[in-house]
Amino acid sequence: MIMRRCLSFCLFFMLVAAGAHAQGGGAAGDVPFDKEHIPDASKLKAALSAIKKADALAMKGGVDFNAAMEAYRQAYEINPDNAELNHKMGLCQLNGPRPHTALDHLRRAARLDPDRPRIHFLLGCALQLNAQWDEAIAEFQRHADIVRRYPDPDRTYNMVEKRLAECRNGKSLMGNPTQAKVTNLGPAVNSAAADYGPLLDGHGNLYFTSRRPGSGGAKLNRVNNTWFEDVFHSRWGATGWSVPVPVAGELNGPHNDATVSLSANGRRMIVYRDEKNGGDLYTSDRNGDTWSAPVALPAVVNSSAQESSAWITDDGQWIYFVSSRPDGIGGSDIYRSAWDPAQKTWGPAENLGPEINTMYDEEGVFAPGDGTTLYFASQGHTSMGGYDLFRSTWAEGRWSTPENLGWPINSPGDDQFLVLDADGRTGYFSSVRPGGQGEDDLYRVDLAQAVQVQESAMLASAGGGVPLEEEEERRLRLVGFIKALEMMAPLEATVALMSLDEPRFNTTLKADPATGGFTAEVPAGKEYALHVTANGYLLHSEHVAEAAGEKHLDMELKPAATGNTEVMHNIFFANSSYLLDSASNVELETLARFLQSRPELRIEIGGHTDSDVGSLPNEALSQARAQAVVNWLVRHGIAPDRLEAKGYGATRPVVPNDTPEHKARNRRTEIRVL
């Protein structure tokens, strides 16, 4: 399928990005391709011709990767000290089947011309893929200094903060490895193409997806220049795994067919096909050694968006699935539906909520037993790069904070599609990492101890977040009332309350639609962000930091109409600085989700200061702060043309600048509907 096997770490950039400098404009040590530096006219002509050919092949990628690299190497043999050529070769390798091999060429390009645009970001990616965490962090920080001053028009290059977080996660996880043993299944199963999505039936049969040459009816997918996916079968025997072959029967069609999940008895497979709606889920039944023509799952699961993964619990009561439908939290989210015995179909789908889903993609859901332990891949949470594998359990009415399965199960590349044997001691998954046959490979993992799956079969709604109920003697009671500014009447609204100290502790509740009232009790002495959302209204923000007792909040929501403003009370900057404090992430992530849910809105980010004069003029400081917020939102998926930054300095105080408390109120970030 086109999107399911997402090369999230590889960077599909236009090759013109690698040629941002003119041929003769490099730094000292950078040798141009010109007559002065290559006096042999025939060699110069051959090199330039090879580069032109390689550029065209690299743009196509896929099965033309090897030919592109061979053409680049012909030019490299003539002039290995050209920064642009090394940049292009490294970029081609990042997009190829072994992205970790890009390091040498990108490192050479950065040494030859350290001022090349984007080179430090790309070098950081290559270092990250090779688990060279400290060097990667240094390169990403160098790139961050550049984009902080000159934001890049390509969102990918502005996501440096996420890369830095991934490297810090990787350094921590690699420093505390698990006792798991990870083994490549080897060339008997894996090919030089992508092999992923392993499924085992408990009787020695392995099913998986492959893009190896000749699959997909021996046709190339014009979108990504690779072979279409097919489902393959291999069997374990006395001499190891048998040579994989496409499964017999009608399961494989002329386009993409991919493994998704397998029933406990091994007789029904859920597969992915991209015949319509961007990709849907189907079932196929095994009769002997042959598989039936796939039948689409019902519309509650398959939507007009892409559905790419699913797992039915052993008791048949729940189906967990991955969908990119527009009501989600990120790109692809995990949903679930309960079996309706009366209707003999799956009931309404519910999103598992922000404890499981992130603003990035989730994929490859695996729900063994009764589904109270969930395994999945995510680009968010504490990933060390690309997709990492996570585990979460359902207990006491909520999902636990997803646990990264750690090093060496996870790597800096994509790690996805984990399934476990019935004994809970052995698993299989797919990964892109050094030492493989190429692209995704299938791996076996032997765990240090068997995974314990909880037995509870009672599952309630998963969307409520984590209750703020730590063991605290001192409590703060919040009593709120929400009304609309237009009518001064109560309205139906959602209230989200999150600790700024420990963001995983959060709760979401509904205001009473008749009165607009709500109450919540939280540990006192902490700082909280409180957000109110309602259809047709602007996001409303409050900052709560009170001692024990009771606090009353009367809040007026404003329609999301041109000219209306709201103060974002939980966006913080260091004193006299435009650097965002990390505590701002809670507010910024909420604002990003709000804007993603209302794609029609354009907003101004307004920066305001008090009247004090610091190291920067107030107007310049406020403009830089507003721009910092815009840059953060762009890096996290909001289109730049939906945002404007405006610094007002001290020209629009809301109260006189006569006390420290009043000055604090005047130092603020506002959103205004354009």
* DSSP-assigned letter for residue 300: T
Segment 481-525, tens digit of pLDDT: 888 766 556 667 888 888 887 655 667 777 776 667 777 777 788
Task: Give residue 7's pLDDT band: very low, low, confident or very high (50, 70, 90).
Answer: very low
Contact between residue 323 and residue 277 where contact means Cβ atoms under 8 Å apart? no
pLDDT band at 602, cuts 50/70/90?
very high
d(CA 282, CA 277): 13
pLDDT of residue 127: 96
Which has more confidence, 641 or 460? 641
Mean pLDDT score, 553-571: 92
pLDDT digit string, tens, across residues 446-479? 987 645 433 322 222 223 334 444 333 467 778 8
Calculate the dihedral angle through the C-alpha atoms of 61, 66, 67, 70, rounding to the nearest 10 degrees.
Answer: 130
Asked if 460 contacts 398 with a C-beta cutoff of 8 angstroms, the reply is: no
Distance from C-alpha of 659 to C-alpha of 641, rounded to nearest angstrom: 38
Q: Tell me the mean pLDDT in the region 430-452.
A: 84
pTM of the model: 0.67
Three-point CA angle 278, 442, 379, nearest 5°: 50
Q: Which CATH class is domain 15-175?
A: mainly alpha
pLDDT value of residue 272 = 96
Work out the pLDDT band at 150, boundaries 50, 70, 90.
confident
Mean pLDDT for 55-83 is: 94
Give residue 479's pLDDT.
81
CB within 8 Å of 309: residues ≥ 6 apart: 4, 260, 261, 272, 321, 322, 363, 364, 365, 417
Inter-residue contact 465 to 484 (CB < 8 Å): no
Comparing 401-415, 584-598, 611-625, the range with the smallest average pLDDT is 611-625
User: What's the CA gap between 672 and 607, in Å, rounded?
Assistant: 11
Kindly tell me if the per-residue pLDDT of 13 is higher than 70: no
Q: What is the DSSP secondary-structure string of 5-18? A: S--SSS----GGGG
DSSP letters spanning 52-73: HHHHHHHHH-GGGHHHHHHHHH
Give the pLDDT confidence score for residue 575 in this predicted structure. Answer: 83
Which class for 84: exposed (0-12), middle (13-18), buried (19 or more C-beta within 10 A)?
A: buried
Instruction: Tell me the mean pLDDT in the region 336-340.
Output: 94
Domain with CATH 2.120.10.30 in the chain: 181-446
The pLDDT-based confidence of 16 (bands split at 50, 70, 90) is very low
What DSSP state is assigned to residue 400? P
Q: Is a pLDDT exceeding 90 seen at residue 142? A: yes
pLDDT tens, position by position, 267-293: 899 999 988 888 999 999 999 889 999
Q: How many angstroms separate the CA atoms of 114 and 83, rounded?
A: 9
475-484 and 549-557 strand pairing:
parallel
Q: Are 406 and 433 in contact (CB under 8 A)?
A: no
Summarised one tens digit per residue, pLDDT across range 231-259 is 999 998 878 899 999 999 999 998 899 99
| pLDDT given for residue 20 in this prediction | 43
pLDDT at 216: 61
The top-level CATH class assigned to 181-446 is mainly beta
Mean pLDDT of the chain: 86
Q: Which of 152, 123, 3 is nearest to 635 (CA)?
A: 152
* CATH 3.30.1330.60 segments of the chain: 475-673
Residue 508 identity? T
Residue ranges, CATH 1.25.40.10, the chain: 15-175
Nearest Cα neighbor of 206 from 393, 419, 492 is 419
3-state SS track over 170-228:
HHHHHHCCCCCEEEECCCCCCCCCCEEEEEECCCCEEEEEECCCCHHHHCEECCCCEEC
The CATH code for residues 475-673 is: 3.30.1330.60
Task: Print burial letters for 580-606: b (CB count within 10 Å at least 16), e (below 16).
Answer: beeebbbbbbbbbbbbbebeeeebbbb
